[in-house]
Amino acid sequence: MTETLSRRSFLGAAAAAPLVGHTVDRTGFPAPAVIIPGAARFAAVASSNGLRGVAKAMELMTRGVDTLDAAVEGVKIQELDPEDTSVGYGGLPNEEGVVQLDASCMHGPSKRAGAVACLEGIKTPSEVARLVLKYTNHILLVGAGAKRFALSFGFREEDLLTSKSREIWLRWRANRGKEDDWVDVGEQEPIGPRPTGTINLNTINDRGDLSSVTTTSGLAFKIPGRSGDSPIVGAGQYTDNAVGSAGSTGLGEANIMACGGFLTVEYMRQGMSPTDAGLAALKRVVSLTPPRLLDPSGRPRYQLNFYAVNKRGDVGGASLFPSDYAAHDGRDATVRDTAYLFPK
């Protein structure tokens, strides 16, 4: 012990520190310190397109449905909505006009996870990811193998392109570049910004059991075979039943580099609120961003959001730039403003 830290000051600092405890896993080694929570309460938090999802998840959990099953039913609302061009049926395709879907999920009580990537022809990848979790010792299935797995469980192969998403793709294809073989549609028909989208949903019940799920059609017009963070456990979503759950939407590549879902949960393990944990994870993401993705002032040229809930049922949302998120606190489902690092 140094001269500058006496035994008395050390004990005083320890008394003022948050109350922590150590759990012991089955190997006999101590697990990391965990903030001892108060009584858990029902809660759900999601990206802003998950407003209907958090309401559905809350309804199911209060009827005794498992937190993961409730979360999957919540995100399926968007997966099955043909008007949502970012998730599931009607999702925007890759550059060849093929819809490829990604999803992952994690179940806190059982400490299990499942995921699929580049899944074609199946509307609800979240359900397939849950089957990987429940019935295999694997975590991630991809491409044709993921599709065969889904079909073996009775899923029906369908065309996921709607007339709306096909039209958007055709207009993008017509505007790709001046040197290709496609005719420009003209400035009077601007295509607008490149669309992206995902839904993440995290749940907790009154027993303190947590789950998380993230599902997406990925970056619009992506290179075939590209997967972002959504099917990556620890990036697109993560759950530790002793601490909390977190997930993300936005540029997946940036989030993968920081393992953002896991990192947000780890910050909550240290005692941060869900919102502060998300902000801290975003700072790490920015620090890992290559210069080509930063503007001259050092701000990211992309958006990234984190959504989180801790073991008590406190929820929060954080983003690089002003945004919003959906949450249900047991009373009603609302859209709330995120905390953010940079003004627009």
Hey, is 128 helix, strand or coil? helix
Q: Nearest to residue 117, comparing CAs of 289, 260, 236?
A: 236
Hey, is 159 helix, strand or coil? coil
Residue 198 appears among annotated catalytic residues: yes
Q: Which of 85, 198, 216, 264 is catalytic?
A: 198
Hey, is 324 helix, strand or coil? strand
Pairing status of strand 140-142 against strand 112-119 = parallel
CA dist 216 to 62, 164, 328, Å? 27, 17, 22
Hey, is 96 helix, strand or coil? coil
Q: Quick check: 261 and 113 in contact, CB under 8 A?
A: no
Alpha carbons 227 and 178: distance in angstroms, whole number: 28
Alpha carbons 265 and 275: distance in angstroms, whole number: 11
Pairing status of strand 315-319 against strand 339-340 = parallel
Alpha carbons 46 and 152: distance in angstroms, whole number: 31
**Locate tokens 């395709």: which residue?**
93
Catalytic residues: 198
